[in-house]
Amino acid sequence: MTDTPPGSPGSTPVLETRGLRKAFGGHVVLDGVDLSFEPGGLSALIGPNGAGKTTCFNLLTGFLAADGGEIRFKGQDVTRLPPHRRARLGICRSFQILNLFDDDTVLENVRVAVPSMRARGFDCWTPAGAVSAAEDRAARIVRLIGLGGRERVAARYLSYGQRRLLEIGLALAGEPELLLLDEPTSGLGMRPMETLRELVQQLSARLTIVVIEHDMDFVLTLSHHVTVLHRGRVIAEGPPAAIRDHPEVREAYLGRLGAPAPREARG
């Protein structure tokens, strides 16, 4: 990772888009979106319901194909690459809707996402050393996300907040350089929220993290750069203080100064 501070002049974007477009039938969801995420730190992608945020993540990770525009990761054109190819390059994500193996333990969920296990599959021909190394890495991730001591608990028996943290652990197991988190604070209580804050602060020292988030306290206190989508277009971007005071953003999304965005809003 570069030693250039996040967002400083001269830093090369980890990921950027130019003219990104996506429509479903006659409904244009993203219309000429330009994004640029600098290495390191936490960036936020915010906007009102239906702004196109999750669709944007789906395009960045290859779960949807763009109708137009270009996506570049560390200078490489990845616009047409499938999700697994982008993941191998270092683009990993969590999802708004949790996607876990409920009958498997916490440790097993994370272990299966470790690249060495994902590439070979887990069968009788997998070397014991590879399984042991993957398990060691998975155990470290489980402790990192605050679930140490629950390694052998089936995912279905975790609380909602613990399940949300576990899915972030699955994304971390993919050894990302760019970590995309889709509404990571959604449904979290006070204790897992604090764990998440500490985790994000720790990770942003060595990863580039981009979050879709409706919790404005989380966005404004932790992120170094915010991009605002509205009706499929970027209407503002910059440091949190500038976004908070931006008149068009206040009108489109934030409401009165200091008021949190409504938690029921999704996009």
Q: Quick one: pLDDT at residue 50?
A: 84
pLDDT tens for the chain, residues 1 to 267: 344 455 454 568 999 999 999 999 989 999 999 999 999 889 999 988 888 999 999 999 999 999 999 999 999 999 999 999 999 999 999 876 777 889 999 999 999 888 766 544 444 444 444 567 888 899 999 999 989 999 999 999 999 889 989 999 999 998 899 999 998 888 888 888 888 889 998 999 889 999 998 888 888 889 999 999 998 999 999 999 888 888 888 777 555 444 444 343 344
Reported as type and span, the H/E element at residue 226 is: strand 225-230
> For residues 111 and 121, what is the distance between their CA atoms, to the nearest angstrom?
11
Q: What angle do CA 160, 106, 206 make, to 5 degrees?
A: 85
Cβ neighbours of 35 (radius 10 Å):
20
Q: Quick one: pLDDT at residue 259?
A: 44
Q: Quick one: pLDDT at residue 260?
A: 44
Contacts of 104 (CB under 8 A, 6+ apart): 112, 154, 155
Question: pTM above the 0.75 mark?
Answer: yes
Token digits for 51? 């702004």
Token digits for 57? 């993540």
Q: Quick one: pLDDT at residue 193?
A: 86
Edge-to-edge strand ranges of the sheet holding 91-93: 91-93, 178-182, 208-212, 41-46, 225-230, 233-238
> For residues 43 and 45, what is the distance between their CA atoms, to the nearest angstrom?
7
